[in-house]
């Protein structure tokens, strides 16, 4: 499968990986939108949030937990941060492999869209 995030998960494409466990991998975004911009992905290829099977909903809970832990290790837990999942075309999803953005280190705009 020609998926950039699967290639990162497989170690075939280099990335600045800052967390890995049995279920997820986290790496720094190649085009950061904030001083801290981390992408958290499941190792398993799931194309979008909309395609997440009900029985795998806990996976997103684990991604949130990893985001919280990385926010602490990146030093933005106290100042605050934003966690975002873009889904589908109008959701602004460009890479078709489920992922969560962790953004922080600057004041986020109030708008969500
Ligand atoms: P989306 O718009 O799909 O929610 O966000 C995809 C994100 O993945 C973007 O912020 C983009 O900069 C990041 N990205 C795309 N390709 C790569 C890559 O090869 N390496 C890394 N580290 N980030 C990538
Ligand atoms: Zn993939």
User: Domains in the chain, please, with CATH?
Assistant: 4-104 (3.30.428.10)
Q: Is 15 near ligand 1, meaning CB less than 6 Å away?
A: yes
Q: Are 3 and 97 in contact (CB under 8 A)?
A: yes
Tell which atom from ligand 1 comes closest to the C-alpha of 99: 4
Q: What is the pTM of this model?
A: 0.97
The residues near 68 (Cβ < 8 Å, ≥ 6 apart) are: 77
Could you read off the pLDDT tens digit of each residue along the chain, which spans 113 residues? Answer: 799 999 999 999 999 999 999 999 999 999 999 999 999 999 999 999 999 999 999 999 999 999 999 999 999 999 999 999 999 999 999 999 999 999 999 999 987 76
- Ligand 1 touching residue 39 (CB < 6 A): yes
Q: Which structure tokens are listed for 104?
A: 């922080």
User: How much is the pLDDT for 110?
Assistant: 83
84 lines ligand 1 (CB under 6 A): no
Which has the closest alpha carbon to 113: 74, 95, 86? 86
């Amino acid at each position: 499968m020609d998926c950039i995030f699967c290639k990162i998960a497989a170690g075939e494409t280099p990335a600045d990986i800052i967390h890995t466990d049995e279920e997820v991998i986290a790496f720094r975004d190649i085009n950061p939108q904030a001083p801290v911009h981390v992408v958290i992905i499941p190792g398993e290829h799931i194309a979008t949030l909309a395609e997440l099977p009900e029985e795998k909903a806990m996976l997103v809970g684990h991604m949130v937990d990893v985001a919280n832990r990385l926010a602490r290790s990146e030093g933005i837990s106290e100042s605050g941060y934003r966690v975002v999942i873009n889904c589908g075309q109008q959701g602004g999803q460009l890479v078709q492999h489920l992922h969560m953005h962790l953004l922080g280190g600057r004041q986020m705009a109030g708008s969500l869209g």
